[in-house]
Amino acid sequence: MNQNLIGLYPRQYEEIPSRLIGQMSDDKIPETALMPSFLSTFGLASLQGTKLGMGESTTSICMYGSYQVVQMDLEGLSLTFVGSTECNTGHILAISKELYPVLLELRTKTEFDASQP
Amino acid sequence: MEANLEAELYEIMKTDGVTGAILSDEHGLCLLASPDVKPEMAGILSAIVQHASMIDNRNENPVINFEGDSRQCLIKKEGSVTTAIFKKIS
């Protein structure tokens, strides 16, 4: 696993408000990255991106001074990676494909739990 | 802008036995790939180089060779660009 990766958040963003279905992070994570408003921006940004006329975007990569944020849409499930700038972005994109079936299973499980009275 | 890079990749591809090549930047993002190589591999290949260079601190940019029965993959980082070349074993 990438040693500079400091957080990973799957989130159900088709629901309003979007529901965080899991998280994995260490102490180095900036507090703002855990705010619901921060994690919900991807849906909006992706929607705005469609105005560029190149179709809907599925992945956004944001580079900041000390951190990078990679957000992706996995069929209605928004997955957010927060890493340091040294973190290998290409590796994040590659491992997200491996995580995809696991996260879909997790989504199905949480949907089932949410539907229980 | 990427004409020089494309020319280099074309030169590599012309070499005898070479079946594919891929170039990635320092973030592991694909710069250029031959048609039969998946661009997603760029991240994995550059991560391999990052880990391999931790083995021996005196050798910053090692050449990594993965060899199978019929194919081999050579990976080398030079500056900020990581190059991987896939070859047939004759």
- Distance of alpha carbon B32 from alpha carbon B23, whole angstroms: 5
Residue A50 contacts by C-beta under 8 Å, 6 or more apart in sequence? A56, A57
SS3 (DSSP) at A39: helix
Position A18 scores a pLDDT of: 56
Distance of CA A7 to the CA centre of its chain: 10
Domain residue limits at B75: 2-88
Cβ-Cβ pairs closer than 8 A, A with B, add up to 38
Residue A40 contacts by C-beta under 8 Å, 6 or more apart in sequence? A11, A13, A17, A18
Per residue in B27-58, pLDDT (tens digit) is 999 999 999 899 989 999 999 998 898 888 88
Min Cα separation B67/chain A (Å): 22
CATH no. for residue B19? Answer: 3.30.450.30
| Per-chain mean pLDDT for chain B | 91
**Across the interface, do A91 and B24 touch by the CB < 8 Å criterion?**
no
Position A21 scores a pLDDT of: 64
Confidence of residue B8 (pLDDT cuts 50, 70, 90): confident
pLDDT along chain A (117 residues), means of 10: 63 57 72 75 79 84 89 81 89 86 78 65
Residue B49 contacts by C-beta under 8 Å, 6 or more apart in sequence? B61, B62, B64, B75, B76, B77, B82
SS3 (DSSP) at A14: coil
Using the Cα atoms of residue A40, residue A11, residue A85 and residue B25 in order, give the sign of their dihedral: negative
Residue in chain A closest to B41 (alpha carbons) equals: A94
Whether A39 and A18 have beta carbons less than 8 Å apart is answered as: yes
Total domains, chain B: 1
> What's the whole-model pTM score?
0.76
Whether B16 and B79 have beta carbons less than 8 Å apart is answered as: no
